[in-house]
Structure 1
Amino acid sequence: MAEEGKADEQLFQLLSSLLHQVEALTNQEEVELRSKIEALGLEVTKVPSKSAQHLDELEIAKELDKLSTKLDDVDEMISSALAEDPKVQSLLSGTADVWMPVITATAEERLNFSAPTGDDCSEVGGKTSN
C-alpha cells in the first residue's frame, strides 16, 4: 500500500511539473487546471476512515431488525397467497424439494450450490435409480 501512495505522489508531482512547463511555455497561468490536479491528488491520497468499515453492535442489531421485518413481510405475503389461491399452495408444495434446501442452508452450504450443467441434467430431480 505504501508503494501505491508513492506511485500516486510521483504521478501528481509529474502532472504538476508538466503543468508548470506548459505555463512557462505559454506564459499563462492555468489556475483551474492546477486546482483540479491538487484536488484530485488530495482525493486519491485520502485515507478512508476506519469507522465506516466496521459496524458496531447497535448498527448490526438495527440491520438484523430490518431483515427480520422484511422476512416477516415475505412470510405474510406467502401465507396470504397460500390462503387465497390453492394453485400457489400446490406449486409451493410440489417444488419444496428445490427451494427449501436453499432457504434453510447455511452460508457455507449456499456456496456449494451450483446450477446443473448439460451433463448432469438427469440428476436434477433427485437421484436416479438403477
Structure 2
Amino acid sequence: MLLAIDHVQLAMPAGGEAAARGFYGDVLGLPETPKPPHLAKRGGCWFESQTLKIHLGVEADFRPARKAHPGLLVAELDALKTRLAQAGYALNDDEPLEGYDRVYVDDPFGNRIELLEPLNSAATPEKTNETHA
C-alpha cells in the first residue's frame, strides 16, 4: 500500500551546488540537510523540511526537466513571486487551475517547478489527507 511521496529527486549538472543552495535554500527557503557521507561524495544537495524533501543529484549527461516537474504547495505566493523576480528568475503563468493561484519557474538548471497556493482552506494538505484517508 502506497502512503506518500518521501522525496522528489531532480537532476543538476556537476558543480551546481552553490546555485542549488541559492535557489532552493535562499530564495525558496527550504533548509539544506547533509547528505549521508556515502552519497555526499557523488555531489548534489538535499533540501528538507518536515513536509517537503527535494534532493538534487548530479547527472553526468544532464538535461533539465522541462515538462515533468514537482508541484509545490506554498503560502504567500505573491511574496514568493516577488523574491523570485528580485533574484532574477523569470515567472511563467499558465492556464488557470481551479482552486489555486499558481506560477511556474525554472530552477538555476532549467528544471521546471510549479508553485501553487490554494485559494481556500479546502485544498490544504491537512484537509486533503482527511478526505482521502
TM-score, normalised via structure 2 length:
0.19
Larger Rg: 1
Structure number with higher helix proportion = 1
Structure number with higher strand proportion = 2
Higher relative contact order (CA 8 A, sep 6+): 2
